[in-house]
A and B are shown apart, each in its own frame.
Chain A
Amino acid sequence: MTRHEVVLITGARKGIGRFLAEHFVNQGAVVEGCSRQRPGWKLPNYTHHAADVSDEAQVKKMISSIGRRHGRLDVVINNAGIAAMNPILLTPVSTVDRILATNFRGLFLVCRESAKLMKKRRYGRIINFSTVAVPMKIEGESVYAASKSAVVTFTRILARELAEWGITCNVIGPGPVATDLIDSIPPAKIDRVVSNLAIKRLGNFQDIANVVDFFVKPESDYITGQVIYLGGA
C-alpha cells in the first residue's frame, strides 16, 4: 500500500469491512466504502456510498463517482456478503436468489466496473472474499459455499483476463471470524468447523488484514489467481 492510493471496500458499514476501512485510512489511503445502509460512524479520507452491489445502475454510478473525483482506483476489496444456514431440502429458492445476488452478482458487477477504471492506469489489485466453507464442504452451508465457490472460479479466470492491464485478482478465504455473519450459527457448529482447521481458533480481523496487505503490495504484481484459506482449511 502506498499513500494516497484509492481503495474501494464493499460491505464497509460493519465487521471486517469497517475494520479494513480504518486499516487503510490509517495507512494514508483514500477509502471509498459501500453498503445498502449508511454507517453510524465517520472517518477522515473516507466516503460512503449507500449502494446495493447487486444493482448494476448503482454500481456503475458509484464507480463513476470514484473516477470523477479521484481519476483512479487502485484497490478493490469485495467483502460484501451474506450467509444463510439451511439444509438444502429446507432452503427456499428466494434464499438462493438473495445469496447469489450479493455474493456473486454483486461481486461480478464491482469487479467489472472497477477493472474498467483500473485499466486506465494499467494497475490494480482486486481481492475477493470466499470462505473456508468451500474446501471444508460444511453441511448446511451449501448455497453460501456454492456462491463463494463461484467467487473462486470467477476470480481465477478474471486474473487471466485482467493480467494484460497489470491488475491482479486474488481470493482470501477466512474461517469463522467473530462477526454477525456467524451470529446465527449454533456455537457447537462453529466449534466443529474450528476443530477441523489446522490452527484451531477463530480468525480475527488482523489475520484478514495481513493477507489483504500482502495481496495489495505493489511487489505482489506476480501473484494473481491465487486463493489463501486462513487457519489451514
Chain B
Amino acid sequence: MLLQSMQPKQKPLSRTEITALVISTLRDVLSRQSETRKHKKAVQESTPLIGEHSVCDSLGLVNLIVDVEQRLQEEHGILLTLADERALSQKISPFRTVSSLVDYIERLIREEIPNDAA
C-alpha cells in the first residue's frame, strides 16, 4: 500500500523554500521530542540545533537531518546526503543553526545540480 504519492516537483528551490522546509521539519521533530525537551519558543533562522542552547536532543538532530533529506527527495526529487564527510569535518558545523543548515543545503544543491540552483 502506498503511504503517499511521491512524485517529485521539477523546479528549482529558492532559499525561502529551503528555509520553510527546514523550519517545518524542525517543528515536526520538536513536536515528537520528549516533554522535557519540547521547545516552547518560536522556531526561526537563528534557532540553535547543536550545543548547550540547542532545541534538539541528539536523536532530534538525527531525525531532523534524515527527515530534511527525505523531504528534499520526495517533494523536490533532490537526492542529497547531508551528513557527508565535509559536514562532519567542518570546524564550524553546518548543523549549528537553522540558518547555517539552510546555507549548507543551498550549497550542496548548487554543487549537485548547478542548473537547478542557478
Q: How many Å lie between the Cα of A61 and that of B73 in the bound state?
A: 10
Is B2 within 8 A of A116, CB to CB? no
Known: A64-B79, A164-B59. A71 touches B66 (CB 8 A): no
A60 touches B74 (CB 8 A): no
In this complex, how many residues of chain B approach chain A with their Cβ under 8 Å: the count is: 14
- Interface code B52-76, partner A: CB below 8 Å = 1, 0 otherwise? 0000000100000010011001100
Q: Are A70 and B79 in contact, CB atoms less than 8 angstroms apart? A: no
For the complex, is A67 an interface residue (Cβ under 8 Å from B)?
Answer: yes
CB of A121 within 8 A of chain B? yes
Interface size counted on chain A using CB atoms at 8 A: 16
Cβ of B7: which chain A residues have Cβ within 8 Å of it?
A: 68
| Chain B residue contacts of A56, Cβ below 8 A | 81
Known: A60-B79, A64-B79. A121 touches B3 (CB 8 A): yes
Please determine whether B79 and A61 come into contact, CB atoms closer than 8 angstroms.
Answer: yes
| Shortest Cβ gap from B72 to chain A (Å) | 11
Question: Does B118 lie at the interface of the complex (its beta carbon under 8 Å from any beta carbon of A)?
Answer: no
A71-B79 in contact (CB<8A): no
Are B6 and A67 neighbours in the complex by a CB distance under 8 Å? yes
The answer, yes or no, to whether A120 is at the interface (CB within 8 Å) is yes
Q: Is B6 in contact with A68, judged by CB distance below 8 angstroms? A: yes
Decide yes or no whether A192 CB sits under 8 A from chain B.
no
Given contacts A72-B3, A121-B3, contact A64 B73 (CB under 8 A): yes
Q: Quick one: given A61-B79, A64-B79, are A120 and B70 in contact (CB under 8 Å)?
A: yes
Name which residue of chain A comes closest to B4, CB basis.
A71
Which of B2, B59, B73 interacts with A70 by CB under 8 Å?
Answer: B2
Is B42 on the interface with A (CB-CB < 8 A)? no
What separation, in Å, do the CA atoms of A95 and B70 have in the docked complex?
35
B1 lies within 8 A of chain A by Cβ: yes
Asked if A116 and B70 make an inter-chain contact with CB atoms under 8 angstroms apart, the answer reads yes
User: Contact: B74 with A67, CB < 8 Å?
Assistant: yes
Q: Select which of A68, A70, A119 is within 8 A of B66 by beta carbon.
A: A119
The reply on A189 being an interface residue by CB < 8 A is no
Q: Are B69 and A116 in contact (CB under 8 A)?
A: yes
Tell which of B3, B69, B73, B81 touches A71, judged by Cβ atoms closer than 8 Å.
B3
A164 to B34, alpha carbons, bound, how many Å? 12
Across the interface, name the chain A residue whose C-beta is closest to B74: A67
Sample of 14 A–B contacts (CB below 8 Å):
A61-B79, A64-B73, A67-B70, A67-B73, A67-B74, A68-B7, A70-B2, A71-B3, A71-B4, A116-B66, A116-B69, A119-B66, A120-B3, A164-B59
Q: A67-B73, A72-B1, A121-B3 are in contact. List 5 more A-B contacts (CB 8 A).
A: A60-B79, A67-B6, A71-B1, A71-B2, A116-B70
Q: Which residues of A contact B (CB under 8 A)?
A: 4, 56, 60-61, 64, 67-68, 70-72, 116-117, 119-121, 164
Nearest first, the 8 closest Cβ-Cβ pairs linking A and B are A71-B3, A71-B2, A68-B6, A116-B66, A60-B79, A71-B4, A72-B3, A64-B73
